[in-house]
Structure 1
Amino acid sequence: MLRFGTAGLRGPLRDGADGINITTVTRASAGFADWLRERCLGGGAVVVGHDARHGSAEFAVATAEVFTAAGFPVTLLPYPMPTPVVAYAVRELGAVAGVQITASHNPATDNGYKVYLEGGAQLIAPADAEIERCIEAVTEPVARAPLRPAGDAVVRRYLDRVAELPALIGGSGARAEVRIALTALHGVGGQPAVDAFTAAGYPDVHVVGEQFEPHPDFPTVAFPNPEEPGATDLLLALAARTGADLAIALDPDADRCAVGIPQPDGSWRMLRGDETGVLLADCVLRTAPAGALVATTLVSSRLLAELAPARGGRYAETLTGFKWLARAGDGLVYAYEEAIGHCVDPAAVRDKDGISAAVLVTDLVARLKAKGRTLADELDDYALEFGLHTGDQVSLRLTSAREAAAIVERLRADPPKQIAGEPVEYTDQLQERGRMRTDALIFTGSTSRVVVRPSGTEPKLKCYLEVVEPVGARADLPAARTAARERLAALRDFCRAL
């Protein structure tokens, strides 16, 4: 049967216990309800939402009806909804749990059952294993009771909160008008993002029409993930054609945000998640109380660890996933992972939120533009202050998760002593104790770093690469970038040889 992995269940749409189907969903809901009752949370409110994938609406209704029959008051959100709205609603409504039917950026043949606990954070161990045991104990048939979907009042409150972020986080100061190019990649974030931009004072939004309305087959992209090659081609063409100031790509459930910027030669490029991450962290820290906490994961760039104390903040590192980042520590004001996930407002949404991140980065562009500066200028300044941190990811799509695990085991048994000509030290995260224990291998040199781990959601092997080049003056940046590209190419060759 499917196991609770990244915050819940995720798998292919098919019959049987190893697929997402109406039986899997109703049993999961019944088991989850039993687990909540065991913890004296029976009768507490539950929020249920869904995206626009195949089966999502049917699965959400079934989930809501199971919880209703089990005696829980249920808020069933009325239409396909971004995942962060459910995380927000759990906290805003004081619910004991939330369920979002979504498979995020997985292929069209997948769906999932994402779980939030009280406070709006994803579940973590041992709750996942405990809920699995409750699901296994469920016997058929599972009782269901009909209910009516709720109104959209909580959705409007979420959008109002997002619209306040420029004032809450961005601070005061002049702001220029900004033109935005936007794609929703056939997901549910299109109209909510437009509404949020407009409410925040940035109504000049141009959308990729072919990808704006939800479509469960994602017809214009091979994989509906802004990080995949070709996924943002239509967006960047629109940005260049309309003279936009920035480009925004949301993934299908709108919990991830990728940012594109113009280049001096008129071309466009997408920022890496680490680049957007440090830009937003700096933005948040400049108005946060002294000693505020920012966090990222062990596979992300080391740049945030240098920037945080330089801006009067504290830094924390966690395992991958927002179930850990949301719990990074007291005083958390911002968290990100390199896979274009950003939590810019943990007081309201304790998970990654593509729409709030998009609004805040737009506001940052507007404030920089008023000073005659760009995001690229900010990144250049970081290179001068901390060295040029350049990263990349090699994602090897394999036939099965077992194949990815076998490659990691081979590396673990015979770790290299050097990579791309640089001696490296080896850390096996499975040898760590406590929360930092995970199936990942880290190879660290004096100026480079490679992290290898199997994906938690897809049959992939992921390699995270970073090199650091010293920069003495602004005139040295072109040479440093050339050197960094050459060194990254050597690291990529190592990973592909696996």
Structure 2
Amino acid sequence: MLTFGTAGLRGPLGPGPDAMNETTVARATAGLAAWLRDRCLGGGQVVVGRDARHGSAEFAEVTAEVLAAAGFPVLRLPEPWPTPVTAFAVRALGAVAGVQITASHNPPADNGYKVFVDGGAQLLAPADTEIERQIVAVTEPIARTPVAESDAGLLSRYLARVAQLPQRIGGPGEQADIRIALTPLHGVGGATAVQALTAAGFADLQVVAEQFTPDPDFPTVAFPNPEEPGATDLLLRLAERVDADLAVALDPDADRCALGVPTPEGWRMLRGDETGVLLADHVLRTAPPDSLVATTIVSSRLLARLAADRGARYAETLTGFKWLARAGEGLVYAYEEAIGHCVDPATVRDKDGISAAVLAADLVSRLRARGRTLIDELDDYAVRFGVHAGDQVSLRLPDQQAAAAVVNVLRTAPPRELAGIPVDYTDMAALRGRLRTDALVFAGDGLRLVVRPSGTEPKLKCYLEAIQPVSGPDELAAARSTAQQRLSELREYCRALAG
């Protein structure tokens, strides 16, 4: 059977209990309903949303009807909308749970079942294994009751909240007109992003026409993930052609956001860590004293240094927004290096690519009014806090078991030196006890490598960082060169792991 992993189910479409199909979805929903009843939440409202993947409309219908037959009032959203809208709806309505049918940025043959609880946050262990036990106990037939679709004005409420971000977070200040190039990568975020940006005052939008309409086959990209090589080529060509100030790429369910920027060498996409620290600093400029910012164990160390300098608290969690959303009291911003950003935790307790795009546009417009760019800001961080050069090596393997096997080999015989630098080894699984993580951390003298198997794909993920002090602006180029050389050596080591 498919098991609950990152906040729910995810797998290939097909027959049988090891694939996504109507029977799998019905059993999962019956198990979820039983789990909710066991917690005295029976009869509470549940929100059901979906993206535009193959099977999503049918799976959302099944989910809504099984829940309704189990006695839950169901709000079945009428259109394929971004995942953050479902997370928003659960919190805004005080619903006991929400289900979004989506496989995020997985390949076209996949689909998934994402569960929100606890005020709109993702499902958290050990609830996943508890629901699995309920699913195993499900008996056939599973009752279903028809459910009409309704939006309850939720999209308008969501858009109104997002449009206020420049005033609520950016605060007063001069803003310049900017031009934005945008792609939703054939996903469901295009129309919502255009509405949100326009409502926030950013009306000069140029979209990648070939990728704007939802298409579950994702015909122009090998993998529908802005982080994958080639996925943003059309976006960057458009940005250069129209002389844009900012390029924005959303993943297919629009909960992730990647930014592209012009540089003297041409347009390039920012890494998630670069966008993360830029948005964090923007939020902290108007945040209350002693606010909390958070990121994960695989992200850059730069946010910790920035937070200390800005008088903010810093927290570090396991990977995933199911942990980040619960990082602590006073949370004003959280991000993960995989281009996930939570810029308004009071509204959406999950990553939200739409609101991140609006806040990024606000930052760029304010910087342009002062004659500055995002690259200027990143240079300033490097001089003040040191170069934090990072990268990710993602190795696609035959299956998830193969990725776990590589990690186990490293656990048994860990390297004592990387890129010529002695490193200490930390097994996060041993430290975290019952919490499921297979991450291994190797660190020493400004060098850091985290290796873990993906929780949703047959991949081994390696997160690299080289930190190099900078004595002044004139030394920045040399420091970056040294850091990049160290990264290059780490990349070669990581690629050899797949063998």
TM above 0.5: yes
* Cα distance, 1:309 vs structure 2: 1.4
Q: Is the 8 A contact 1:45 1:73 kept in 2?
A: yes
Question: 1:298 is matched with which residue?
Answer: 297
Q: Which residue number corresponds to residue 99 of structure 1?
A: 99
- Kindly indicate whether the alpha-carbon contact (under 8 Å) linking 1:259 and 1:271 is maintained by their aligned counterparts in 2: yes
- Structure 1 residue 470: Cα displacement: 1.3
**How far apart are residue 58 of structure 1 and its match?**
0.6
Matches within 5 A, 1:256-275: 256-265=256-265, 267-275=266-274
2:230 corresponding residue in structure 1: 230
* Aligned 1:361-400 pairs, distance under 5 A: 361-400=360-399
Identity of aligned residues (%): 72
Matched, 1:190 2:186: no
**Distance (whole Å) between structure 1 residues aligned to residue 429 and residue 358 of structure 2:** 38
**What secondary structure, in the 3-state scheme, does the structure 1 residue paired with 2:426 have?**
strand
Counterpart Cα distance in 2 of 1:436 and 1:30? 26
Using the TM superposition, give the Cα deviation of residue 435 of structure 1 relative to its aligned residue in structure 2, in angstroms.
7.2
CA distance in 2, matches of 1:445, 1:236: 36
Q: Secondary structure at the match of 1:300?
A: coil
Aligned residue in 1 for 2:333:
334
Amino acid at match of 1:418: E
Contact 1:94/1:118 (8 A) holds in 2: no
Residue 118 of structure 1 deviates from its aligned partner by 2.9
Cα distance in structure 2, aligned partners of 1:317 and 1:143: 43
Partners of 2:296 and 2:219 in 1: CA distance: 33
Corresponding residue of 2:173 = 173
Partner of 1:349, secondary structure, is coil
Two-structure CA RMSD over aligned residues (Å): 0.9
- Secondary structure of 2:280's counterpart equals helix
Aligned-pair distance for 1:387? 0.2
1:98 positional shift: 0.1
Cα separation, 1, equivalents of 2:11 and 2:405: 21
Alpha-carbon spacing, 1:151–1:399, altered in 2? closer, same or farther (3 Å)? same
Cα offset, 1:446, TM superposition: 0.5
Distance in 2 (alpha carbons) for counterparts of 1:430 and 1:43: 38
Partner of 1:25: 25
Structure 1 stretches of 4+ with a deviation exceeding 2 A read 433-437
Distance in 1 separating the partners of 2:432 and 2:350: 25
| Equivalent in the alignment of 2:467 | 468
Which letter does structure 2 place at the counterpart of 1:146? P
Aligned match of 2:35: 35
SS at match of 1:291: coil
- Return the alpha-carbon distance in structure 1 between the equivalents of residues 253 and 151 of structure 2: 20
- Residue of structure 1 in register with 2:275 after alignment: 276
Q: Secondary structure at the match of 2:216?
A: coil
Specify the code of the residue in structure 1 equivalent to 2:236. Answer: L
| Equivalent in the alignment of 1:447 | 446
Instruction: Determine the structure 2 residue equivalent to 1:432.
Output: 431
Cα shift at 1:477: 1.6
Residue 436 of structure 1 and its aligned partner are, at CA, apart by 6.5
Q: Kindly provide the CA deviation profile for residues 323-370 of structure 1, in whole angstroms up to 9, marking residues without a partner as x.
A: 000000011000000000000000000000000000001000000000
Tell me how far apart the structure 2 counterparts of residues 471 and 435 of structure 1 sit (CA, whole Å). 41
CA distance in 2, matches of 1:99, 1:497: 39
Once residues 321 and 372 of structure 1 are traced to their aligned partners in structure 2, the CA distance between those partners, rounded to angstroms, is: 36
Q: Shift in Å at residue 16 of structure 1?
A: 0.4
Q: Deviations over 1:186-218 (max 9, x none)?
A: 000000000000000001010000000000000
Q: Measure how far apart 1:26 and its partner are.
A: 0.6
Q: Secondary structure at the match of 1:497?
A: helix
SS of residue matched to 2:461: strand
**Number of the residue aligned with 1:75:** 75
Structure 2: distance between partners of 1:80 and 1:38: 31
Q: What residue in structure 1 maps to residue 211 of structure 2?
A: 211
Distance in structure 1 (CA, Å) of the matches to 2:470 and 2:436: 35
2:385 partner amino acid: F
What do residues 137-169 of structure 1 show as CA deviations (whole Å, max 9, x unaligned)? Answer: 111111111121003500110010000011111
Aligned-pair distance for 1:294? 0.3
Say yes or no: does 1:145 pair with 2:145: yes
- Secondary structure in structure 2 of the residue aligned to 1:149: coil
Q: Tell me if structure 2 keeps the 8 A contact 1:189–1:250.
A: yes
**Match of 2:467, SS?**
strand
| Contact 1:319–1:436 under 8 Å retained in 2 | no
Deviation at 1:485, TM superposition (A): 1.6
Instruction: Give the deviation of 1:433 after TM superposition.
Output: 3.5
Paired AA for residue 340 in structure 1: I
Provide the residue aligned with 2:50 in structure 1: 50
Point out the more displaced range, 339-348 or 402-411: 402-411
Counterpart for residue 288 of structure 1: 287
Counterpart of 1:352 in structure 2 is 351
Match of 2:249 in 1: 249
Matched, 1:16 2:27: no
Q: What is the Cα deviation at residue 430 of structure 1?
A: 1.4
Is 1:492 matched up with 2:499? Answer: no
Distance in 2 between the 1:218 and 1:479 partners? 41
CA distance in structure 2 between the aligned counterparts of 1:170 and 1:494, rounded to whole angstroms: 42
Please give the alpha-carbon distance, in whole angstroms, between the structure 2 residues aligned to 1:39 and 1:152.
Answer: 27
- How far the C-alpha of 1:434 sits from its partner, in A, is 4.8
User: How far apart, CA to CA, are the structure 1 residues paired with 2:319 and 2:216?
Assistant: 27
Q: Aligned letter for 1:262?
A: P
Output the CA distance in 2 between the equivalents of 1:290 and 1:477: 31
The unaligned stretches of length 5 or more in structure 2 are none
Q: Which amino acid aligns with 1:254?
A: A
Residue identity opposite 2:350 in structure 1:
D
The count of aligned residue pairs is 497
Could you tell me how far apart the structure 1 residues matched to 2:73 and 2:246 are? 43
Aligned to 2:5: 5
State the alpha-carbon separation in 1 of the partners of residues 87 and 291 from structure 2.
23
Contact 2:125 2:435 in 1 (8 A): no
Q: Aligned partner of 1:257: which letter?
A: C
Q: Unmatched 5+ residue regions in structure 1?
A: none
Asked if 1:311 is matched to 2:310, the reply is: yes
Alignment partners' CA distance in 1, 2:192 and 2:11? 27
Counterpart amino acid of residue 97 in structure 1: A
